[in-house]
Amino acid sequence: MAAISTLGRALPGTARGRLVTFLGALTIAFGVAAAWLHGQTGELTGAASARNDALSDNGRTAEVKGQITTAVNTAFSYNYADVAKTEKAAQEVLTGKAVQQYNELFALVRKQAPEQKQVLTTTVTDSAVKSLSGNGARLLVFADQRNTRTDKNQTSHSAAVFAVNAVHIGGKWKITGIDTLTGG
């Protein structure tokens, strides 16, 4: 066969060679492009951001934010008249390392709150879910705190920013770690 038929016309031998070379180069180019695109897809789906459900699961993100907001408000608000009530409530929303951290922080409260007749109200003003994967989450929490010393009729206000780790256990999100972001 001396020629390849294209639209009913015969191609001379040199044109046929060029066409075969062009089609071969085009096939190689498509193959290289496909391999490169496949690699790019692997990088994107393998990235940490692709495994972060906080970026794609609005319902679960809202759930963890809501439950951790309630947990922080509960655990970090107390009334000198019944600090035991706060401690008991805190144990319901804390687990793991957070229980020890809380107990260390609350030891001073247990002593000073009744002496100074302190009432502390913590209100989470905002939070952000940094990561959410499986049963674990990390959140950045912004809160306002109002501390009233009823023995001196003095009230002070302060802001707090800290991070918490949380775990989903038994249908609830609980705080597993508290990072006060002190840099130490």
pLDDT tens-digit profile of 40-82?
665 555 555 667 878 888 999 999 999 999 999 999 999 999 9
Let me know whether 163 and 116 are in one domain: yes
Look at residue 45 in the predicted model and tell me its pLDDT. Answer: 52
Q: How many domains does the chain have?
A: 2
Let me know whether 21 and 110 are in one domain: no
Residue range(s) defining the domain that contains residue 139 = 57-179
Q: How much is the average pLDDT of 134-143?
A: 95
Let me know whether 33 and 117 are in one domain: no
Tell me whether residue 6 is in a domain.
Answer: no
Let me know whether 165 and 85 are in one domain: yes
Let me know whether 92 and 161 are in one domain: yes
Tell me whether residue 20 is in a domain.
Answer: yes
Tell me whether residue 94 is in a domain.
Answer: yes
**122-131 contacts: CB < 8 A, separation 24 or more?**
122/72, 122/73, 122/76, 122/77, 122/160, 123/73, 124/69, 124/72, 124/73, 127/65, 127/68, 127/69, 129/54, 129/61, 129/64, 129/65, 130/54, 130/163, 131/52, 131/54
The CATH code of the domain that includes 121 is 3.10.450.230
Let me know whether 89 and 16 are in one domain: no
Let me know whether 26 and 72 are in one domain: no
Residue 1 scores a pLDDT above 50:
no
Let me know whether 32 and 94 are in one domain: no
Let me know whether 79 and 35 are in one domain: no
Query: What average pLDDT is seen over the chain?
Result: 85
Let me know whether 90 and 168 are in one domain: yes
Look at residue 138 in the predicted model and tell me its pLDDT. Answer: 96
